[in-house]
Structure 1
Amino acid sequence: MSASLSSALSIFVTGTDTEIGKTFASCALLHGFARAGLRAAAMKPLAAGAFERDGVWHNEDADALDAAANAPLPPELRTPFLLKAPAAPHIVAAHEGVALDIEQIVACHREAIRRADIVVVEGVGGFRVPLTDTRDTADLAVALGLPVVLVVGVRLGCINHALLTAQAIAQRGLTLVGWIANVVDPDMRFIDENIDTLRGWLMREHGAPLIGTVPWLTPASPERAAERLDVSSLLLALRTARASTSQHSLHPDQD
């Protein structure tokens, strides 16, 4: 059973860069989905940077996703590839003798959507982080065939990074279903103006609405961040997209 034929919803969360709050935003989405009455699970298919505790290897981001999900997955499904060194995945994988297999991740996702109402799949780094010599995280997103949520780290340069990432998503034939503005530099000048600029460009060029703006929070709280997200509209868009895909699969000759 493919993801598109499952009754479960799923999204692929990517970011404009690394360290822009992708995991934080994913956790906020998980809390929002749970509040909407859904069994929400999360995958961090590939994580680079692990620590050992009580004989078990952990990753900080994966643990955060587990804490936010109300339908957590077994570690082997949640993170099929856990690399120890915190560096570029394809480099670490080569050093650790690990073959990063996109097909294995797709199989884990296929099982994950059987266990939840919605599965949040968080990518690694930005949209085009290499996984092997020839494949990157964009190829993973394509293989999963999921609508994409873009997390924009609001800081100097974010407009260019966001527009380039959105363009790359569209070029791969994926739907940018929405974006989240996550303020990572509270001292940035003209925060609202930058977000308004992106709101206009991303809606005009990609039909991608702003899901919500997460301000600088001290302490950082995904539960509080969830209150800033329009999860209801996102779910409506996901269900509409799924219905359209299902209808097309039943009547492929309509085009």
Structure 2
Amino acid sequence: MGAYFVTGTDTDAGKTLVASGLLTLARRRGRTTLGLKPVASGCDVTSQGLRNIDALTLGEQSTPEVPYDVLNPYAYAPAIAPHLAARRAGNVPTLDDLVAATAAPLAWRRDLTLVEGAGGWRVPLNDHEDLAGLARRLELPVILVVGLQLGCLNHAILSAEAIRADGLQLAGWVGNLIEPGLSFDETSDAALYHNNLDTLTRRLPAPNLGILPRLDGESPIARAEAAAKHLHLPEID
């Protein structure tokens, strides 16, 4: 399986849900796993320091366990764009910083390692670099999470083009249903939804690794378990 960078078509596309679901699936098959969230904003203040729910969720699906500061070396409290949160905190990382922070855990070569970005492909890291640069520097194939809602076709196709333009392989894509009111039911809206899926399948130059229905009202761990039932691991399935 190897290591992959997980990005999304937008903020809240479902990156952590998909990443934790893939890690869960790999764990069920007896594989070693690791989920990394190098940069996270929107962190909670705890007695142990800043903690991000997405990073904690990835940590729960990482086997063997790793310390939190390995999972999420750059954590910021404000729920705003990472580069703005970092600027406010006075601790703005560079790509060199992130490469250094991820070098050791990547060297562990667990069966499945997922490095989750923040927001979409071009989200800024600082005034001169973006998080896509981390995937480029680490030479990781990319898994794209498509938030299935109005406008997703444009977002997905542009994201795939940007990934390829950066010289990286799009290893697979996952659709995550986030449009309110839509389901898999046979309605006129559902028919349009399936037509959109057909378009994505034709236009995205990578295999589909799964389509997630809405998984509302559950804990992050329960949602990861539920997501795993709808996913396929890259390369081996």
TM-score by length of 1: 0.83
**More helix as a share of residues:** 1
Question: Which amino acid is 1:135 matched to?
Answer: E
- Output one character per residue of 1:16-73: Cα deviation in whole Å (capped at 9) or x when no partner: 0001111111110110111222110110000011112224221111111112222332
* 3-state SS of 2:236 partner: helix
1:84 maps onto 2:84 in alignment: no
- Cα distance in 1 for partners of 2:141, 2:100 equals 18
How much does 1:186 deviate? 4.5
Question: Which amino acid is 1:24 matched to?
Answer: L
Aligned counterpart, 1:242: none
* 3-state SS of 1:236 partner: coil
Question: Which amino acid is 1:69 matched to?
Answer: S
Q: How does 1:158-197 map to 2 (within 5 A)?
A: 158-188=152-182, 189=189, 190-197=192-199
Gap runs ≥5 in structure 1: 1-7, 238-255
- Output one character per residue of 1:83-127: Cα deviation in whole Å (capped at 9) or x when no partner: 121111111211211121222222232211233322110000000
How many pairs were matched up? 224
- Cα distance in 1 for partners of 2:236, 2:224 equals 22
- Cα distance in 1 for partners of 2:8, 2:181 equals 21
- Does structure 2 retain, via aligned residues, the 8 Å contact 1:9–1:113? no
- Cα distance in 2 for partners of 1:132, 1:160 equals 26
- Does structure 2 retain, via aligned residues, the 8 Å contact 1:154–1:185? yes
1:103 maps onto 2:87 in alignment: no
Q: How does 1:1-255 map to 2 (within 5 A)?
A: 9-115=2-108, 116-188=110-182, 189=189, 190-202=192-204, 206=205, 208-220=206-218, 221-231=223-233, 234-236=234-236
What do you get for the CA RMSD once the two structures are aligned? 1.6
Aligned counterpart, 1:5: none
- Does structure 1 retain, via aligned residues, the 8 Å contact 2:43–2:76? yes
**Once superposed, which parts of structure 1, at least 4 consecutive aligned residues long, lie more than 4 Å away?**
none
- Does structure 2 retain, via aligned residues, the 8 Å contact 1:49–1:86? yes
- Does structure 2 retain, via aligned residues, the 8 Å contact 1:42–1:73? no
Question: Which amino acid is 1:158 matched to?
Answer: C
- Cα distance in 1 for partners of 2:175, 2:119 equals 16
How much does 1:81 deviate? 0.7
How much does 1:192 deviate? 1.3
- Does structure 1 retain, via aligned residues, the 8 Å contact 2:45–2:77? no
- Does structure 1 retain, via aligned residues, the 8 Å contact 2:33–2:112? yes
* 3-state SS of 2:107 partner: coil
- Does structure 2 retain, via aligned residues, the 8 Å contact 1:23–1:122? yes
- Does structure 2 retain, via aligned residues, the 8 Å contact 1:13–1:123? yes
**Mean Cα deviation higher: 94-103 or 20-29:** 94-103
Gap runs ≥5 in structure 2: 183-188
Aligned counterpart, 2:185: none
* Percent sequence identity over aligned pairs: 38
